Amino acid sequence: MSTISLESATSSFTSRGVPFRRVDANGSWAFEQDGASFRISEPRRLEIRVFQATKAPEFLAFTRDDATLYEPTISFEAAPVYTPFSEIAVGSAQPTPRENLRRTADSSESVRQRVYDPSFLERLNVDKTLTQDDLPLAFYAPYRVGDRLAAFWNRTSGRWEVLAPPEFNVVRFQLTSTLASGSVASAAALYFDSATQTFVDGGLKIDVADFLGRFHGAVGTRGYARRFADRDAWEIFALDA
């Protein structure tokens, strides 16, 4: 391994397709020689970056034994977010005020990364081999194009993973069985389909419980439920009369 001293604060380089725009003058970085060139060695600390989602979440397809399968982990394409170097006053006695440093998402496709949420299906209580019929489950993912989030580089899986996934603890639902006061009923979780402007069953089946003992409804009744960690159950807090 070699150490290269960067003589200019405007030096830039690329690691895993993501450009580094801020490098301290005379700072030292560890490089490993790869043939006639050098590449940045793996960091010895947790690497965290901010990304902005550029495409909707999805389950990637792959082929095995002539069969089409789907990754059990949801992921989405995202662009790295950084502070443009041109806005940093290098060598100035008066540093640029923090509020003037805007955060920009790199729009070039060459630096976009795929960010994974490995616990998404677990949070939905879905434990099965995914088929094409299960792809609408992606609509329940709490990520939309334009959202910004922190991700870390998992050196074991070799991919960017969401650092603190949003909790999936409130859901719209429609009863698929009759609910009696104080009991439990089957329901289908709904998501909003922007194309049809309607609420749609995406295939996520849940049980909803009347903790308060004051709700009852027929098949087709809609409402809202929240999941609490201590009971790990969907408890109704609103139901259409």
Output the domain CATH number for residue 177: 2.40.50
- The mean-pLDDT minimum among 90-94, 104-108, 231-235 falls in 90-94
Report the relative pairing of strands 159-162 and 28-34 from DSSP bridges: unpaired
Query: How far apart, in Å, are the Cα atoms of 102 and each of 48, 82, 83, 96, 199?
Result: 19, 8, 6, 11, 37
Whether residue 126 is found in the same domain as residue 28: no
Helix/strand/coil for 85: helix
Whether residue 25 is found in the same domain as residue 81: no
For 58-103, strand residue ranges (E) read: 61-64, 67-70, 74-82
Per the model's pLDDT, the better-predicted residue between 52 and 18 turns out to be 52
User: Maximum Cα–Cα distance for the chain, whole Å?
Assistant: 74
Q: For the chain, what is the domain count?
A: 3
Question: What pLDDT is recorded for position 86?
Answer: 46
CB 75 within 8 A of CB 56: no
Most confident residue range from 18-27, 91-100, 197-206: 197-206
Distance CA 220, CA 170 (A): 19
Whether residue 176 is found in the same domain as residue 152: no
Question: What pLDDT is recorded for position 30?
Answer: 47
Whether residue 135 is found in the same domain as residue 55: yes
Count CB atoms within 10 A of the CB of residue 121. 19
Distance CA 99, CA 125 (A): 42
Task: Please say if the pLDDT value at position 233 is more than 90.
Answer: no
Range of the domain at 138: 48-162
Question: What pLDDT is recorded for position 66?
Answer: 83
Distance CA 191, CA 199 (A): 5
